[in-house]
Each structure stands twice: as C-alpha cells, then as structure tokens.
Structure 1
C-alpha cells in the first residue's frame, strides 16, 4: 500500500512543476519570468493612490506596488483640532479665578489696576513688576538656550 502512494506522488511531481510556471490570477508575465530566472526585477515602483484612482499597468520589467492612502494627513487625528478654550471646557478653578478677577476689576478693589476706586494704582504697579519679571525670565531662558 505504501509503495502505491509513493509511486503516485512521484508521478505527480512533473504536473506540479508545470503548474507552477503558468501565471496565476493577478500574476503578470514579468513576475513569472522573475520567478524562473531568480533575478530581481530591474525596477520596483511604489504608487500611492487616492480612493478613486486605479493602479496603472507596469511598464516593461518593473514590479508595481499600489497602495491606497486612507489618511492623507500627517498630523494625527487627535491633534488636528485644537482644544476648546470656552468656559464649558475649563475647570471650576479657572472659572472661579476668572470671575474673581473680573469682579475685583469691576468693583475697583485694591491691587486691581483699575481706574475706578482709590486702590487701583497699587495694582498697576504690581502688574508692571510681574510683567518685568516675566520678560526678564524669558530673556534668561533665551540666552541660556543659545550655546
């Protein structure tokens, strides 16, 4: 029994070898030729297509690789739209601080740099000093960044 199976397998080998040299569906003649000779193709071309384009035909002995671009943008989707800065997107701490600052300026309270009320001038001086310190720190950062 084992001999019959071995003889049948040996007799079917030439048929399998002949079937491998014929081009399969979607396989070009140049691909079959490359497989027979074992040499790499002269040219490999990559083509990126949009959704509506068709893959062009290969020219000569080249291998053509077509890919469809799903997402043509290089920026990740999560970073394309900047985050919202409206009141609903802010934390309660930021909302409360903004309301407090607006209320202080409107009421002319001390340290508000407001033209209304008697304590507004102290706030203007404090605001100028804070702005000066921020500009000085920025300049120091810029100077230290340059080698």
Structure 2
C-alpha cells in the first residue's frame, strides 16, 4: 500500500491540529489597567479578568493629571479677570495715576512700580514651590 502525497499531507494536517495547544483561559480574559496610590492594595485578578496595576506616590492622588496640567508663560496661565484688571487704569489721569497728564500725575509711578515688583516676586515664589 503506497501513500500518495495528498493523503500524507491530510494526515499531517490532522496530526498537527490535534497537537496544537488550545488557547488558555488567560488569553480570553479581559485586561483592566488600574492606578493605585501610596500603599493602597492592588485589586486581585480573577479567572475572567487580568488586573494590571500602576503605582504612583501618595502626593499624586488629588493632583490634576500630568497631561492636563498647564505650563507655559505667566500670560498664558493667568486668569482673564487678572488680565482685565489692567484695563481699569488705561485712561486714568491725575493724582496717583502715573501719567504725564494732569496735576501730580507722576505721583502714582512709584506705587505702581512697587506693586508690580511685589506681584512678580509672589508669582516667582509660587512657581518655585512644589505642590503637595
């Protein structure tokens, strides 16, 4: 009895399918990615679900996520109300106005300079401290 190449190929295919491993239950399970903070326990995996935990420090628990934190210059981070405050004194003239128009207009220039210096120093101190 001679075997033809076709029957040998069919026999090999049947044998290979019988030896191929079946997918395990873990391959069919869903995967959950969880972020835990500090010493919080990571949830246990079950037969139906695989849990992958990423641990972050406790100081990050209530912070805005890094991808949503704003950076950039002071002008881009400053609130509109603070920027609009400068418009209140645009047309001011006279005493304590720091303008060349009107009587004693120059008297407000030193006050304005001092206030701007203190505001810059407060903003610089605020940006140098790390949030908790």
TM-score where L is the length of structure 1: 0.28
- Compare the two structures and name the one with the higher helix fraction: 1
TM-score where L is the length of structure 2: 0.31
The higher relative CO (CA closer than 8 Å, separation ≥ 6) is in: 2
